[in-house]
């Protein structure tokens, strides 16, 4: 079953690598497929910006994104170590690393994670980021799973190479910076949608992504429209509103309310 899922994942990701593909959506799909195919609880992907600093590029869940941010803010955790060394980092039991990464381990445990593996993303001889795989139970991933995880990290790197080929007049660093800047806009849009719809951040991202795909728009483009107010209302999801909860009414640019 896993081999079939892996084959489907590679076919899906390869199909995404078409002319003018959506880089942010592609990177998100890499993290989602990693968690599904590799049997891990969650996955996160960090990339370097123009100044060589790590930034969160994608995560399969909101909790994972926040945990990745903590690593960057404190400069502790498996991802910074993986990035700086260029080697994979495996911690089968996070409780054993409490002295090594005290804040990261505490937050990871609170988020329900008990193990972590970080895999480098290499572009030729340069390490441009890292892929983090979080487990809900202690235990080391077997060699075959690690190889599959590295293969998916390599696919993400190929995606970045494809983006460079499409936009040949830009440098790779400029493309990465654009993607990372887009991530900031997406996070802002998630916050706006979550507040308007009274839903959590994961649901807000799902709504944003579904709308972008349905309307054949770039994720970052739609997110920017939500943030600057030119996209005042996203379509409601099918989830029924709780009984007694008043409808959300928003004021539009022409002064009407609805």
Residues 210-224: tens digit of each pLDDT: 999 888 898 989 999
CATH 3.30.450.40 occupies which residues in the chain?
A: 2-168
Question: Each residue of 179-210: pLDDT tens digit?
Answer: 788 888 999 999 999 998 889 999 999 999 99
Q: Each residue of 217-235: b (16+ CB within 10 Å) or e? A: ebbbebbbbbbeeebeebe
Higher model confidence: residue 50 or residue 122? 122
User: What's the half-sphere exposure (Cβ side, CA atoms, 13 Å) at 149?
Assistant: 29
Question: Is domain 2-168 classified as CATH 3.30.70.2200?
Answer: no
For the segment 76-103, the average pLDDT, to the nearest whole number, is: 94
Q: Which of 227, 223, 231, 181 is nearest to 205 (CA)?
A: 223
> For residue 40, what pLDDT is reported?
94
Higher model confidence: residue 111 or residue 255? 111
CATH 1.10.10 occupies which residues in the chain?
A: 181-228
Structure tokens at 196: 């308007």
22 pLDDT band (50/70/90 cuts)? confident
47-56, 99-108, 210-219: segment of lowest average pLDDT: 47-56
> For residue 155, what pLDDT is reported?
80
Q: Provide the mean pLDDT of the chain.
A: 82
User: What's the half-sphere exposure (Cβ side, CA atoms, 13 Å) at 19?
Assistant: 0
Q: How many CB atoms lie within 10 A of CB 2?
A: 13
> For residue 164, what pLDDT is reported?
61
The CATH class given to the 181-228 domain equals mainly alpha
Question: Each residue of 135-156: pLDDT tens digit?
Answer: 999 999 999 899 988 988 888 7
């Amino acid at each position: 079953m896993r081999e079939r899922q892996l084959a489907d994942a590679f076919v899906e990701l390869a199909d995404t690598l078409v002319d003018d593909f959506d880089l942010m959506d592609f990177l998100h799909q890499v993290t989602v497929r990693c968690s599904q195919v590799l049997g891990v609880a969650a996955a996160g992907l960090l990339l370097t910006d123009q100044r060589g600093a790590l930034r969160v590029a994608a995560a399969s869940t909101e909790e994972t994104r926040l945990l990745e941010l903590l690593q960057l803010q404190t400069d502790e955790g498996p991802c910074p170590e993986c990035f700086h060394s260029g080697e994979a980092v495996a911690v089968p039991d996070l409780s054993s690393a409490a002295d090594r990464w005290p804040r990261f381990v505490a937050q990871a445990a609170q988020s329900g994670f008990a193990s972590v593996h970080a895999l480098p993303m290499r572009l030729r001889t340069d390490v441009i980021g890292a892929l983090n795989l979080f487990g809900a139970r202690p235990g080391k991933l077997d060699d075959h799973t690690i190889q599959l995880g590295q293969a998916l990290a390599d696919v993400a790197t190929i995606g970045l190479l494809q983006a460079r080929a499409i936009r040949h007049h830009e440098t790779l660093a400029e493309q990465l910076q654009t993607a990372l800047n887009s991530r900031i806009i997406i996070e802002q849009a998630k916050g706006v949608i979550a507040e308007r719809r009274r839903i959590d951040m994961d649901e807000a991202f799902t709504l944003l992504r579904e709308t972008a795909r349905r309307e054949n728009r770039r994720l970052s483009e739609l997110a920017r429209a939500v943030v600057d107010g030119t996209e005042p209302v996203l379509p409601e999801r099918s989830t029924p509103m709780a009984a007694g909860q008043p409808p959300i009414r928003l004021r539009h640019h022409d002064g009407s309310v609805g």
